[in-house]
C-alpha cells in the first residue's frame, strides 16, 4: 500500500513577517557603490558558443562611465544585448543577425546595420572605416557586430553559418531536436587575437556621457521592418568587402545569411524600485521556444482515435515562431517611450503612503481606494500595457492590482475568468527589476503563457518536465549565474518547489536581490476546499518561511470565501491587499439540457448544436472520462467536424501539441477531460459544452470561463442526467488523499456536497447567472435573456420529474455510507485521479 503524507501546515510567527512588506515610502537612489547594477555583455567562449552574461559593476571595471539622467552621477555603462545563448538554443544564431538601431529612429533599416557597423569600426584593430560606404560592411562576415558605444554587443561567427547546418550545440541531449544548429569550430589563433582586441577595445572605447539607460537597440530582420532593400544592400556591400580580413566563401555566405535572420531585440525594461531608481539590462530573445513534438515523433504518434491510450516518449522539441510584426513595432515604441519617460523622471520620487493593513478593493470602492492615486510608475504601466501588450487601457481593477504588486504588498487577486489576471503580475514583472517566480499548475497553462510572453519579447523561462535536460541545465546555469539572471519571469510547477536544487536557485536569486516576488497562479489549487486541489501546492506554504521578505501574489477566478481564507492562511499572507472583481461573465449564455441515457443521442445533439450554431467556430467539449472523450471525438469527426481530443493519458508533448494546434485553429473542437482548461486563453472560443456534469460549481465556472474571452456572445451548455451524478461522485472521490478515516470522510463530504450543488444548479429553475453568483457570494439580478431558465419558462420540466428528484436525494443522503464503505477497506488510502497532472521532477 502506498504511504500517504499529508502536508502539515507550517506556522510562521507573525513577528517574523514584520519585515515581509517593503514599506518604501520614498524612492531614492542608493550611493553608487551600493547599487547592484548588472551589466550585460555578450561574447562567445572558446567553444564558439554564444554567451550572454551579466556582470556586476565591480566586474566591469573596464566599462565606461556615463552620467545618469536621474542623479547626474557617473555610472558605469551597461551592455544591452540579445540573449544569445537562448537564441543559440533556439537555433537562430546559425542564421546570423542583422541590425536595426532604434535609437536613430524607426524605419532606418539601412542605418541599423550601418550603426552597428559604425560602432564596430571603432575597434582599433579591425581597421574599419568610419564612413558609410560599402567597406563598412566588409567585415560583416567576421566575428562580431559590436555596438560598443551602446555596449550592445551582438556577435556573429562564421562557423554559425547556414551552410554548416550541422547538429545542434545541444545535440548531446536533444537528439530528437528538429533544430539544426551549427557545428562548433575551433577558433584560429588569428581569430582569437582579433576577438581579444575587439573585446578590449569595446571595453575601453566608450566615452560617451548621457544617460544611464542608453542601450535600446532593436535589431530586426529586414523583412520584418519591411525594408527589402536592406538585405540586398548588405549583400552587395559584403561582397565587395574583402580588404580587411580575408574571409572564406563561407564567411561571405554568412554575411548574406546574416541578413536573413528573424531578428533579435535586445532591450532593457527594468525599473528598479527597491529604494533606487535605475534600469538594468535584460537581454532578450523574442523568439518563442514553443515546445512541440519532433517530426519523427509526430509521425510516430499513434492515431488518436483509438481505445487504447498512447504512450509515446517525452517531448523533444524546440521550434521557434517568428515574432508578430505588430509586437515588434509596439516593442520599439515602448523602448522609445520608456526612454522619454526616464529622461523626464526626477532623481527622487515620493511613493504615496499605503497603510500597513489589509485592504479590499472592489468595483464599488475602487474610486476611493488608496490604490487609485498617482504612483511614480503610472506612465510606465500605461506605456508598457499599450506598447508591449498591445492593450488600449487597463481593465477595471487591473491598475489597482498592478499598483499593489509594484508596491510590494502581499496581494490576493480574484477576478473573473478571462478578467486579465495574468497582466496583473506580468506587467509589474517587466517594469520591475529582477525575476518574478510564477507557480503554475498545468504544463499547458505554463506553455501558453511562456509562449505568449516570448512572442512579446519578454525574457521568460520555464522549468518543468517537458523541458529537455540540456535546456534545463542551461536555464539553471543562467539562473545561477553569479553575475545575474537574464529572465524577467520564471515559470515552474509546484512540484519543483520541493527539490533542493530549485530551492538553492531561489536562495541564490534571493541572496543577490533578484527574487522579486512569488506569484501563485490558480491559487485555489492550494486549498483542499478548492476544486482543483493539488497536494504540492500545499508545499508553497514553506516559501514565506524561507523568504520572509518576498511579497506573495495569489490569483484565482474561483475562490469562495472559505477557499480564499484557506489560501491566505496556507501562504501566510500578511496585511494582504485584496482585489476582488465581480464574477459575472455577462457575455456567456448558460443552458442545461437533459441528457439521454443513450450516448448516441447526446452525441447527436451536440453535433446538431455545433453544426447549426458554431460550425466554423472553436469550442471545447468536456467529458468525464477518457473513453467518452475519444468516442465523442470519433463520432463528431465521422460527421465531418474538425475535432481532436485531449486528456491526461496523452504525454506532455502530445498535450502541448494538441493544445497548440487547437489554439492556432488547426482543428476547431477539442473533446477533453478536466486536464484541459485552467488558464487556457483562446479568446474566440464560442462554446463550451459539458457532456457530463462537472465535479463542482467552481470547476464549471472555470471551464465555461474558457468561452467568450474576447467579450463576444458565447454558449455554455451542460448535459445532465441522473446517472452522471453517481459517475461523477465516483470519479471525483478517486483522488482523495487521507491519513485517517475522519479526514477521508471530511473530504468525501466536501466532494459530494460539491456534486450536490451542481445537481441543484442543473435541476434548479432560477436564473443560472443568479445561481452561479450566489455560490461565489455575489448578489446579482436575473439575466433575463442569457440563460435557459430566464428565456424558456418550461425548460426544466425535464428535471422536475419524480425520478430525478428521488435520485438526487438518494445520492445526497448516501454519501456518508459511501465513505464508510471505503473505510472498511482501508483506513488510509490514496486514490489517484486519472486527471492528476503532476510535474515529474528530475
Ligand atoms: N487590459 C486589457 N485590455 C485588453 N485585453 C486584455 C487586458 N488584460 C487582459 N487582456 C486579455 O484578456 C484575455 C484574458 O486574460 P488572462 O488570460 O490574463 O485572464 P485570466 O484572468 O488569467 O483568466 P483565467 O482565470 O480564466 O485564466 C487575454 O487574451 C488577455 O490578453
Strands 26-27 and 349-350: antiparallel
Report the CATH number at residue 387: 3.40.50.300
Question: Which range in 99-113, 530-544, 669-683 is most confidently predicted, on average pLDDT?
Answer: 669-683
| 595 CA → ligand 1 middle, Å | 33
Identify whether residues 670 and 717 lie together within a single domain: yes
**CA dihedral sign, ordered 111, 112, 113, 117:** positive
Q: What atom in ligand 1 is closest to the CA of residue 680?
A: 27
State residue 816 phi and psi, 5-degree precision.
-70, -35
Q: In sequence order, which residues have a C-beta less than 8 Å from that of residue 615 and are 6 or more positions away?
A: none
* Phi-psi group of 753: left, alpha or beta (phi > 0 → left; psi -120 to 50 → alpha; rest → beta): alpha
Residue pLDDT, tens place only, 555-580: 998 878 888 898 999 899 989 999 99
How many distinct helices (H) and strands (E) make up the chain?
27, 24
The answer on 519 and 639 residing in a single domain is no
Task: Answer yes or no: are the C-beta atoms of 328 and 454 closer than 8 Å.
Answer: no
Q: How far is the CA of 419 from the centre of ligand 1 (A)?
A: 5
CA 712 to chain centre: 24
Q: How much distance in Å is there from the Cα of 679 to the middle of ligand 1?
A: 9
**Which residue owns the Cα nearest ligand 1 atom 14?**
418
- The percent of residues above 90 in pLDDT, for the chain, comes to 20
Same domain, yes or no: 686 and 807: yes
Whether residues 643 and 733 fall in one domain: yes
Q: What is the CB < 6 Å shell around ligand 1? A: 391, 394-395, 398, 415, 417-423, 557, 679, 681, 683, 705, 709
List residues bridging with 361 in a β-sheet.
579
What is the number of structural domains in the chain? 2
Radius of gyration of the chain (CA): 28
Same domain for 652 and 555:
no
- Both 560 and 639 in one domain: the answer is no
Residue ending a domain, among 580, 612, 647, is 580
Query: Residue 165 has what pLDDT?
Result: 34
Mean pLDDT on 778-786: 88
The answer to whether 109 and 221 are in contact (CB under 8 A) is no
Tell me, yes or no, whether 549 and 594 share the same domain.
Answer: no
> If you measure from the C-alpha of residue 581 to the centroid of ligand 1, how many angstroms do you get, rounded to a whole number?
13
- For the record, the C-alpha cell of 335 comes out as 523602448
Q: What pLDDT, in 10s, does the model give residues 423-446?
A: 999 999 988 888 999 998 877 788
- Pick the residue with more confidence: 622 or 112? 622
pLDDT (0 to 100) of residue 454: 85
Residue 750 lies in a domain: yes
- For every residue of 392-437, DSSP letters joined together read SSPPTTHHHHHHHHHTT--EEEE--TTS-HHHHHHHHHHHSSSEEE
How far is it, in rounded angstroms, from Cα 240 to Cα 588?
A: 63
Q: What is d(CA 66, CA 74) in angstroms, rounded to the nearest whole number? A: 5
Contact 135, 78 (CB under 8 A): no
Range scoring the smallest mean pLDDT among 406-415, 440-449, 626-635: 440-449
Choice from 402, 415, 422 to test ligand 1 binding pocket (greatest atom count within 8 A of CB): 422
Is the same domain home to 547 and 617? no
Residue 106 C-alpha cell reads as: 524607426
CA 395 to ligand 1: nearest atom = 1
Question: Which residue range(s) make up the domain with 466?
Answer: 357-580
436 inside domain: yes
**Cα 278–chain centre separation:** 25
Last residue of a domain, one of 563, 580, 597: 580
Residue that the C-alpha cell 534600469 belongs to? 279
What per-residue string of b and e applies to 51-61 under the rule 16 or more CB within 10 Å gives b?
bbbbbbbebbe
Is the model's pLDDT at 24 over the cut of 90? no
Q: Are residues 397 and 529 in the same domain?
A: yes
Strands 144-147 and 74-76: unpaired
Q: Cα separation of 584 and 23, whole Å?
A: 34
- For the record, the C-alpha cell of 325 comes out as 510584426
60 pLDDT above the threshold of 60:
no
Is the model's pLDDT at 386 over the cut of 80?
yes
Closest atom of ligand 1 to 398 CA is: 1
Ligand 1 centroid – CA 491 distance (Å): 18
Of residues 829 and 733, the one with the higher pLDDT is 733
Q: Output 670 or 141, whichever has higher pLDDT.
A: 670
In a domain, 85, yes or no: no
CA atoms within 13 A on the CB side of 581: 24
Residue percentage of the chain with pLDDT more than 70: 53
Residue 339 inside a domain? The answer is no
Q: What is the DSSP string of 103-114?
A: TT-SS-HHHHHH
CA distance 726 to 563: 25
Give the C-alpha distances (Å, rounded to integers) separating 33 from 57, 74, 535. Answer: 9, 11, 45
DSSP H/E element including 327: helix 325-344
CA-to-CA dists, residue 555 to 307, 425, 444, 446, 507, angstroms: 38, 9, 17, 15, 24
Tell me, yes or no, if the pTM score tops 0.95. Answer: no
Q: Note whether 645 and 722 are same-domain residues.
A: yes
CA distance 405 to 399: 10
**Residue 375 CA, ligand 1 centroid: distance in Å:** 23
β-pair partners for 139:
none
570 assigned to some structural domain = yes
Q: Is residue 326 part of a domain?
A: no
Residues 699 and 800 in one domain: yes
If 0-12 CB within 10 Å is exposed, 13-18 middle and 19+ buried, where does residue 108 land? middle
The minimum-distance atom of ligand 1 relative to the CA of 385 is: 1
ipTM for this model: 0.98
Of all protein residues, whose CA lies closest to atom 10 belonging to ligand 1?
A: 420
> Which amino acid residue places its CA nearest to atom 16 of ligand 1?
420
- Please choose from 420, 452, 706, 710 the residue to mutate so as to test ligand 1's pocket, defined by most ligand atoms within 8 A of CB: 420
In a domain, 764, yes or no: yes
Average pLDDT, the chain: 63
395 alpha carbon to ligand 1 midpoint, in Å?
Answer: 9
Residues 732 and 602 in one domain: yes
User: How far, in Å, CA of 29 to CA of 791, rounded?
Assistant: 62
Instruction: Quickly count: other Cβ atoms within 10 Å of residue 6's Cβ.
Output: 14
What is the residue whose three cell numbers read 533544430?
179
**pLDDT category, 542, cuts 50, 70, 90?**
confident
pLDDT in tens, 191-214: 555 444 444 433 333 322 222 222
Is residue 227 assigned to a domain?
A: no
Q: 421 CA to middle of ligand 1, Å?
A: 6
Amino acid at each position: 500500500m502506498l504511504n500517504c503524507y499529508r502536508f502539515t501546515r507550517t506556522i510562521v510567527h507573525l513577528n517574523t513577517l514584520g519585515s515581509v512588506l517593503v514599506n518604501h515610502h520614498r524612492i531614492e537612489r542608493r550611493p553608487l557603490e551600493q547599487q547592484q547594477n548588472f551589466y550585460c555583455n555578450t561574447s562567445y567562449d572558446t567553444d564558439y558558443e554564444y554567451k550572454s552574461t551579466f556582470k556586476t559593476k565591480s566586474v566591469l571595471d573596464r566599462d565606461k562611465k556615463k552620467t545618469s539622467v536621474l542623479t547626474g552621477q557617473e555610472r558605469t555603462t551597461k551592455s544591452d544585448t540579445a540573449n544569445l545563448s537562448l537564441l543559440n538554443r533556439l537555433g537562430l544564431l546559425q542564421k546570423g543577425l542583422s541590425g536595426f538601431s532604434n535609437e536613430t529612429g524607426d524605419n532606418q533599416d539601412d542605418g541599423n546595420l550601418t550603426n552597428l557597423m559604425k560602432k564596430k569600426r571603432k575597434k582599433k584593430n579591425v581597421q574599419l572605416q568610419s564612413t558609410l560606404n560599402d567597406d563598412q560592411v566588409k567585415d560583416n562576415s567576421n566575428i562580431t557586430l559590436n555596438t560598443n558605444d551602446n555596449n550592445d554587443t551582438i556577435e556573429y561567427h562564421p562557423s554559425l553559418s547556414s551552410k554548416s547546418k550541422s547538429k545542434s550545440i545541444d545535440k548531446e541531449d536533444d537528439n530528437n531536436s528538429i533544430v539544426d544548429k551549427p557545428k562548433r569550430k575551433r577558433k584560429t589563433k588569428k581569430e582569437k587575437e582579433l576577438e581579444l582586441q575587439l573585446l578590449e577595445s569595446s571595453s575601453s572605447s566608450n566615452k560617451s556621457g548621457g544617460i544611464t539607460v542608453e542601450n535600446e537597440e532593436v535589431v530586426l530582420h529586414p523583412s520584418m521592418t519591411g525594408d527589402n532593400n536592406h538585405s540586398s544592400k548588405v549583400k552587395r556591400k559584403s561582397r565587395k568587402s574583402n580588404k580587411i580580413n580575408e574571409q572564406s566563401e563561407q564567411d561571405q555566405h554568412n554575411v548574406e545569411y546574416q541578413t536573413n535572420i528573424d531578428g533579435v531585440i535586445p532591450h532593457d525594461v527594468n525599473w528598479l524600485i527597491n529604494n533606487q531608481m535605475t534600469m538594468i539590462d535584460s537581454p532578450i530573445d523574442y523568439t518563442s521556444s514553443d515546445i512541440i513534438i519532433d517530426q519523427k515523433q509526430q509521425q510516430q504518434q499513434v492515431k488518436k482515435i483509438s481505445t487504447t491510450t498512447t504512450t509515446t516518449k517525452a517531448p523533444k522539441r524546440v521550434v521557434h515562431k517568428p515574432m508578430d510584426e505588430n509586437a515588434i513595432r509596439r516593442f520599439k515604441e515602448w523602448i522609445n517611450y520608456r526612454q522619454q519617460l526616464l529622461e523626464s523622471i526626477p532623481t527622487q520620487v515620493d511613493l504615496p503612503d499605503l497603510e500597513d493593513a489589509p485592504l479590499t478593493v472592489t468595483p464599488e470602492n475602487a474610486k476611493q481606494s488608496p490604490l487609485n492615486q498617482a504612483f511614480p510608475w503610472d506612465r510606465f504601466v500605461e506605456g508598457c500595457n499599450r506598447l508591449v501588450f498591445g492593450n488600449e487601457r487597463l481593465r477595471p481593477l487591473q491598475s489597482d492590482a498592478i499598483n499593489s504588486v509594484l508596491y510590494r504588498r502581499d496581494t490576493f487577486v480574484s477576478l473573473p475568468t478571462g478578467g486579465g489576471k495574468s497582466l496583473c503580475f506580468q506587467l509589474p514583472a517587466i517594469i520591475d527589476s529582477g525575476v518574478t517566480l510564477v507557480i503554475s499548475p498545468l504544463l499547458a497553462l505554463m506553455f501558453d503563457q511562456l509562449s505568449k510572453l516570448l512572442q512579446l519579447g519578454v525574457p521568460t523561462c520555464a522549468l518543468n518536465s517537458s523541458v529537455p535536460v540540456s535546456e534545463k541545465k542551461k536555464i539553471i546555469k543562467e539562473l545561477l549565474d553569479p553575475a545575474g539572471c537574464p529572465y524577467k519571469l520564471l515559470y515552474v510547477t509546484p512540484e519543483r518547489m520541493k527539490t533542493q536544487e530549485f530551492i538553492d536557485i531561489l536562495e541564490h536569486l534571493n541572496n543577490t536581490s533578484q527574487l522579486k516576488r512569488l506569484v501563485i497562479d490558480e491559487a485555489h489549487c492550494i486549498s483542499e476546499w478548492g476544486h482543483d486541489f493539488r497536494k504540492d501546492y500545499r508545499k508553497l506554504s514553506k516559501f514565506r518561511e524561507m523568504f520572509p521578505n518576498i511579497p506573495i501574489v495569489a490569483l484565482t477566478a474561483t475562490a469562495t470565501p472559505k477557499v480564499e481564507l484557506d489560501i491566505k492562511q496556507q501562504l501566510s499572507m500578511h496585511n494582504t491587499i485584496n482585489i476582488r472583481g465581480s464574477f459575472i461573465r455577462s457575455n456567456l449564455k448558460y443552458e442545461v439540457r437533459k441528457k439521454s441515457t443513450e450516448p448516441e443521442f447526446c452525441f447527436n445533439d451536440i453535433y446538431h448544436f455545433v453544426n447549426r450554431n458554431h460550425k466554423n467556430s472553436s469550442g471545447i467539449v468536456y467529458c468525464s472520462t477518457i473513453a467518452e472523450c475519444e468516442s465523442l471525438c470519433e463520432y463528431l469527426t465521422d460527421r465531418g467536424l474538425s475535432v481532436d481530443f485531449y486528456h491526461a493519458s496523452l504525454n506532455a508533448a502530445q498535450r502541448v501539441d494538441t493544445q497548440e494546434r487547437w489554439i492556432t485553429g488547426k482543428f476547431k473542437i477539442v473533446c477533453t477531460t478536466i486536464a484541459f482548461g485552467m488558464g487556457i486563453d483562446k479568446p474566440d472560443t464560442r462554446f463550451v459544452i459539458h457532456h457530463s456534469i462537472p465535479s463542482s460549481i467552481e470547476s464549471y465556472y472555470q471551464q465555461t470561463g474558457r468561452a467568450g474571452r474576447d467579450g463576444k456572445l458565447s454558449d455554455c451548455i451542460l448535459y445532465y442526467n441522473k446517472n452522471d451524478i453517481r459517475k461523477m461522485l465516483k470519479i471525483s472521490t478517486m483522488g482523495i488523499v487521507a491519513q485517517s478515516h475522519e479526514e477521508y470522510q471530511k473530504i468525501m463530504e466536501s466532494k459530494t456536497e460539491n456534486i450536490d450543488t451542481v445537481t441543484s444548479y442543473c435541476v434548479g429553475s432560477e436564473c443560472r447567472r443568479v445561481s452561479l453568483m450566489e455560490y461565489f457570494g455575489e448578489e446579482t439580478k436575473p439575466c433575463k435573456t442569457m440563460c435557459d431558465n430566464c428565456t424558456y419558462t418550461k425548460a426544466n420540466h425535464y428535471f422536475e420529474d419524480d425520478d430525478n428528484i428521488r435520485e438526487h436525494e438518494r445520492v445526497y443522503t448516501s454519501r456518508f455510507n459511501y465513505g464508510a464503505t471505503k473505510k472498511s477497506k482501508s483506513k488510509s488510502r490514496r486514490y489517484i485521479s486519472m486527471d492528476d497532472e503532476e510535474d515529474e521532477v528530475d
